[in-house]
Amino acid sequence: MQTICIAKLKPFSARLHGAAIGEEHARQVRDLIGGHPESDDSVILDFAKVEGASASYLKRLLHPFFAPPGDPERLPREIAPIAINVEAADLTEELDDYLAGKGRAMVLADRIAVRPRFRQLLGRLDGAAAETFRELQTLKKATAAELYDRHRQETTNQTAWNNRLVNLVAMRIARRSRVGRFWVYEPIVQS
């Protein structure tokens, strides 16, 4: 999994402000991702040494990860951003507020050896998405049919569970793979 250190992007300061710097950092991130194997579906954004970031900076930096098809700023393939080393309270709040305002979520992880470990979500999920994400974190892997079987007493049908899981993939906080005729979903980062 590729790690991009924000502190190594130019120009850098502990408090990142402005669309111009965000755009320049997004360009550098795009170039770094472009030179990395296409098999990766996630990238770690290491925020060590970053104390804060304005919404205009975050908008430009993170937009390529979430841009819709056809957007010229979109990354060449779907990649989930995973944040690590978000230690400053200001930065945590700014990331959380920016993502929530855009209706997005991003995984904040701890780096344990080589693999990241889930700490929390930044941003917000609505009730159904939050419930589905919690189930996926608990089970590690699941199909819509398995989630439906676990919750048969509820009114949610298998199609609704499938739609919820697809939504988590679109939000870049889960991934899916085909096993036989079923889609198997798992969180981008396990707890």
pLDDT confidence tier of residue 39, bands split at 50, 70 and 90: low
Q: CA angle 90-188-170, nearest 5°? A: 90
Residues 6+ apart with CB under 8 A from 47: 6, 83, 84, 85, 86, 87, 91
Mean model confidence pLDDT for the chain: 93
pTM, full prediction: 0.92
Dist CA 88 CA 7 (whole Å): 14
Report pLDDT digits (tens) over 114-139.
Answer: 789 999 999 999 999 999 999 999 99
Q: Which domains does the chain have, with CATH numbers?
A: 2-123 (3.30.750), 127-187 (1.10.10.10)
Residue pair 43/53 in contact (Cβ under 8 Å)? The answer is no
Dist CA 92 CA 122 (whole Å): 8
Residue pair 57/21 in contact (Cβ under 8 Å)? The answer is yes
Q: Which tokens belong to 117?
A: 């470990």
